[in-house]
């Protein structure tokens, strides 16, 4: 289970690094997409730095819970943005929810302390 958790977490981190990285470089498709979503020009770099910071906090084991909480807020903002502009539900709007579920699922599978905190002891099997 730990291996699956690490794989899910790695996929989330790789996507966040890619997403944050392309927002740091002034690419025309990124600035056009941000304008279509209703954000002013120049905000993409700040959003890229924020995304990379959340990815770094999530990737470091000691700060992964804080990183996943911040990541949940970031993805919630993305969902709200797509809801506001009327994006397609399953491909655009819920993508943040899919990524958030992967992040929390990966963290739950790889972090024994979080499992002990969230899963009641009476639900575990005893041999």
Instruction: Report the predicted TM-score, pTM, of the whole model to 2 decimal places.
Output: 0.85
- 75, with CB counted inside 10 A (0-12, 13-18, 19+), is buried
- Domain extent, residue 95, equals 2-123
Q: How confident is the model at residue 93 (pLDDT cuts 50, 70, 90)?
A: confident
Give the pLDDT confidence of 35-84 residue by residue, as tens digits: 998 888 889 999 999 999 999 999 999 999 999 999 999 999 999 999 99
Number of domains the chain contains: 1
How far is residue 64's CA from residue 49's CA, in Å, rounded to a whole number? 17
């Amino acid at each position: 289970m730990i291996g699956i958790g690490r794989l899910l977490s790695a996929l989330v981190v790789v996507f966040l690094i890619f997403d944050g990285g392309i927002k740091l470089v002034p690419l025309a498709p990124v600035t056009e997409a941000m304008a279509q979503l209703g954000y002013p020009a120049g905000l993409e770099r700040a959003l890229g730095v924020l995304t990379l910071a959340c990815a770094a906090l999530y990737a470091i084991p000691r700060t992964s819970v804080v990183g996943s909480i911040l990541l949940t807020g970031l993805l919630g903002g993305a969902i709200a943005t797509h809801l506001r502009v009327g994006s397609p539900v399953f491909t655009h709007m819920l993508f943040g929810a899919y990524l958030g579920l992967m992040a929390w699922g990966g963290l739950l599978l790889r972090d024994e302390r979080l499992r002990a905190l969230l899963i009641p002891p009476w639900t575990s099997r005893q041999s």
